[in-house]
Amino acid sequence: MPKAMLVDITECVGCGVCSEACKKEQKLPGDVGKKRDYANYTVLRQEGDDVYVRELCMHCTDPTCASVCPVSALHKTPEGPVVYDFDLCIGCRYCMMACPFGVPKYEWQKPIPKIRKCIMCYDTRIKKGLPTACSQACQEEGGGATYFGERDELLAEAHKRIKENPDTYDNHIYGEHEVGGTNVLFLAPKDKPFKALQFNTKLPEEALPELTWQVLNKIPVIVPVWATFLTGMWWLNNRKEEVEENEGSKKIRDEKLEGGDNE
């Protein structure tokens, strides 16, 4: 069964331990930021005096980002997370165009930039049977607003909370049906429903791999030719790095030899 996370916004106290745990687990540079970017996979956004909203990858059941990737750098795992392969990524940014939640971010500051996003601690924790770093930190150190478990069980718990506390919760589980369903689910306060919290509430319930064609229609000429060109550019960039590294090593060796001759 796929793993998932449930974020109960009514229980979030805005402590930020989720963001801190994410940066530590993923070895991301810098301090915790306020906006999602290449160095911040999950952040907290404050809405009003005491309402905080987590922002992170939604890990769609049928991810559009994976469907548009011409080199399959992004893919859906059986356990639920949508992950990516840095070595395959060519930095084309089609996933950024296609994602209905605007999740993938680009490493604009790097000479050879890649895409960055939350991978739900797939390699370091999920595959080992552990909860995500953010959910564990939230339960142990924070307000206990982020839950980790089987998607079906979390949905059942979310429905139970809404039924038993109709005056507390907005009667909607965000991510249950949006774009075919996601593996990150949200509950919102009744007095601040998802629309008021700036969630995209106009998404269809159908999965959106058809966005692939909308993106591909914007690609010039024939897709296979364009993909081949991009792959070639990716190889050239890697080859350039390899040559520069070899040249640097050769220069160091030559300098050492010259120093030995002078002695």
Nearest to 202 by CA among 167, 178, 169, 232: 178
Rounded-to-integer distance, Cα 58 and Cα 101, Å: 8
**pLDDT at residue number 260:** 54
Distances from the Cα of 216 to the Cα of 115, 204, 206, 220, angstroms: 19, 21, 20, 8
Nearest to 64 by CA among 92, 89, 101: 101
CB distance 187 to 176 below 8 Å: no
**pLDDT at residue number 249:** 56
Any idea which of 1-10, 80-89, 177-186, 230-239 has the lowest mean pLDDT?
A: 230-239
**pLDDT at residue number 256:** 53
CB distance 237 to 93 below 8 Å: no
Residue appearing with tokens 């070899």 = 246
CA dihedral 50, 55, 60, 64 (to 10 degrees): 140
**pLDDT at residue number 254:** 54
Average pLDDT for residues 177-187, to the nearest whole number?
Answer: 97
The yes-or-no verdict on residue 220 having pLDDT over 70 is no
Query: What rounded mean pLDDT belongs to the chain?
Result: 86
Of the CA atoms within 13 Å of residue 19, those in its CB half-sphere come to 23
Q: How many CB atoms lie within 10 A of CB 185?
A: 23
The yes-or-no verdict on residue 191 having pLDDT over 60 is yes
The yes-or-no verdict on residue 227 having pLDDT over 70 is no
Angle between helices 17-26 and 133-141 (to 10 degrees): 140
**pLDDT at residue number 228:** 55
The yes-or-no verdict on residue 9 having pLDDT over 90 is yes
Average pLDDT for residues 223-229, to the nearest whole number?
Answer: 54
What's the CATH number for 3-215?
A: 3.30.70.20
Can you give the pTM of this predicted structure? Answer: 0.79
Q: How much of the chain, in percent, has pLDDT values that exceed 70? A: 79
Instruction: State which H helix or E strand residue 187 sits in.
Output: strand 184-187
Q: Where are the domains of the chain?
A: 3-215, 220-262
Distances from the Cα of 110 to the Cα of 91, 100, 114, 217, 246, angstroms: 11, 25, 8, 29, 21
Nearest to 55 by CA among 77, 75, 78, 32: 32
Q: What are phi and psi for residue 184, nearest 5 degrees?
A: -120, 125
Q: How confident is the model at residue 148 (pLDDT cuts 50, 70, 90)?
A: very high
